[in-house]
Amino acid sequence: MKYITNIDGGDGFGSQFLSRICGITYANYHKLNYVHFPIKTILLEDKPSQSRTDELDSSNILLNSIMLNLRIKNIDELDSSDTINTCCRTNFYNEILSNPSQYFTDEWISSLQDSYSEKPPNYYQNDKLNIAIHIRRGNDISINNYMRYVSSDFYDDLIAKFLEKYENSIIHIFSWNDPGITIKSDRIMLHITSDGGKKFLSDFNALVHANILLVGASSFSTSAAFFNKNLVLYSKKIGNIDCNPFVPIWETNFENIIGNF
């Protein structure tokens, strides 16, 4: 049997996850067979995590469970008669970006969402509106990186708008290192990853289960957004990485809730 796949590596978890999301999305639309290759290495703040097997193993356990739920074969399940066409992720990205609504149909998005089986984090309160905001920071970007760095003042204004609009909300800020926000409220919870990334999958899971998710300038929160069954917001003022595919309704959601910001 013939299969297609993409095995781009040497990057962060979000980038490699998004690459696979787009690969299976492309295969689904064109009615092709996709085969899954597990992640071999994860780059966290420019430090390969080959020695941190807990992070790598946990990432592959999550990916493998999603692929299993989508009935996508793992490379170990193929035999010698099968053939594989390996594609670069940019080929999938460019094709999908040419007409994202064509690829990200309601039916397919629902399938992706249903394939994610992890439970919500315990700190999410059922009687509150849990709003997750991913602020992309880290030692690998700086204020001069216009594609990834969004000013803390911009986020301060956004958070203030959320606090005013949703009085029953808790704002969860997820960031690698200090996000630099100055707004104060007892309804803001900071979730800072700065210990080598050992809880990044917990943060990813929280983004998936947020009642409202504001995607950051990162493939990490973009990947999580595909599995979020609630409300996802996306703005090109934040997500400056134009090569990353996204679902058009996310932009509409941002405009409807935040307005002309």
- Distances in Å between the Cα of 220 and the Cα atoms of 17, 153, 155, 164 are 8, 22, 18, 27
Mean pLDDT, range 20-32, rounded to an integer:
96
Better-scored residue on pLDDT, 50 or 68: 68
Percentages helix, strand, coil for the chain, rounded to the nearest 5? 40, 15, 45
211-260: pLDDT as tens digits: 999 998 888 999 999 999 999 999 888 866 567 888 999 999 999 999 87
C-alpha span between 142 and 146 (Å, rounded): 9
- Quickly tell me which residue has 């980038």 as its tokens: 15
**Burial of 247 (C-beta count, 10 Å sphere; 0-12/13-18/19+):** buried
pLDDT at position 46 over 60: no
- Average pLDDT of the chain? 87
78-91: pLDDT as tens digits: 999 999 999 888 88
Mean pLDDT, range 109-127, rounded to an integer:
96
Ranges 155-159, 173-177, 204-208, 214-218, most confident: 204-208
Domains of the chain: 2-104 (no CATH), 129-257 (3.40.50)
Better-scored residue on pLDDT, 147 or 59: 59
Q: Which of 15-24, 152-161, 195-204 has the lowest mean pLDDT?
A: 195-204
pLDDT for 50 equals 44
pLDDT at position 209 over 90: yes
pLDDT for 32 equals 96
- Inter-residue contact 132 to 150 (CB < 8 Å): no
Mean pLDDT, range 127-150, rounded to an integer:
73
pLDDT for 193 equals 78
C-alpha span between 110 and 100 (Å, rounded): 15
CA 219 from chain centre, in angstroms, equals 5
- Distances in Å between the Cα of 160 and the Cα atoms of 26, 42, 164, 259 are 38, 35, 6, 14
pLDDT for 160 equals 95
pLDDT for 51 equals 46
Mean pLDDT, range 125-141, rounded to an integer:
84
What does DSSP assign to residue 34?
A: B
